[in-house]
Amino acid sequence: MQKTMGKLFTVCEWIMRLAFVNLLWILFSIAGLLVFGIMPASVALFTIVRKWQMKETDIPVLKTFLTVYRQEFKRSNGLGFGLSLGGAFLIFDFLYLRTVHGALQLALLVPLMIIAAFYITTALYILPVYVHYDLKMITNLKNAFFLGILNFHMTLLMLVTLAAIIILILYQPGLVPFFSVVSIAWILMFGGIYSFNRIEARQSKVSGG
């Protein structure tokens, strides 16, 4: 009975932690007027999720969130601006293709689909890379892209899992304030750490050989 109660307490504690950090993300995104708040709040969220997944479970959540939010406010918004610009460019191009017909549409659609796939791949890994490594922004983007390509099976798994989470949230909107963004961060960070470890193991094997 004591063992069962201990496990139940642990589960409840993690539910509270996840809900708390999800609420922090919402509050601090709003505090930054969304436009300037989403990226630093996301970096803070991913930083905490990374620490949890690396067994650093006793960190002060609020203090860590606040510290990272302040430190990364300017830099993370620069990254967010670049990603938003790239996304807007792709959306504009897809809308433009609707006005084109025939063989020209197909000729333009194929390379645009490839670029969109590269963009999505990079977007999946960019925040895990950002919080895991202390690198320049261009290097972060390159690493995010190559990690997604080299770990294609994990990239597909992340996409499928994200789709399932989004469908669940659409059917149960009451989960949004408590488990929406943190669930996405958990999946992306899990995939990121898996990919980091896999690449580092390969490098160690090559170096040892």
- The predicted model scores a pTM of 0.93
Cβ pair 177, 20 in contact under 8 A: no
Q: Supply the mean pLDDT for the chain.
A: 92
Token readout for 175 is 């989960």
Q: Residue 48's CB: how many other CB atoms inside 10 A? A: 27
Q: What is the pLDDT of residue 3?
A: 65
pLDDT at 190 over 80: yes
Q: What is the pLDDT of residues 21-48, one digit of tens each?
A: 999 999 999 998 889 999 999 999 999 9
Distance CA 121, CA 142 (A): 11
Q: What is the pLDDT of residue 208?
A: 67
Report domain extents, the chain: 2-208
Distance CA 133, CA 127 (A): 10
Say what percent of the chain tops pLDDT 70: 97
The predicted model gives 167-172 an average pLDDT of: 92
Q: What band does 207 get if pLDDT is binned at 50, 70 and 90?
A: confident
Distance CA 150, CA 125 (A): 12
Position 162: which residue type? L
3-state secondary structure of 170: helix
Q: What band does 204 get if pLDDT is binned at 50, 70 and 90?
A: confident
Distance CA 18, CA 49 (A): 9
pLDDT at 162 over 80: yes
Higher pLDDT, 91 or 10: 91
3-state secondary structure of 175: helix
Q: Alpha helices, DSSP H only, in the chain?
A: 2-31, 38-53, 61-71, 73-97, 103-132, 137-150, 152-171, 176-208
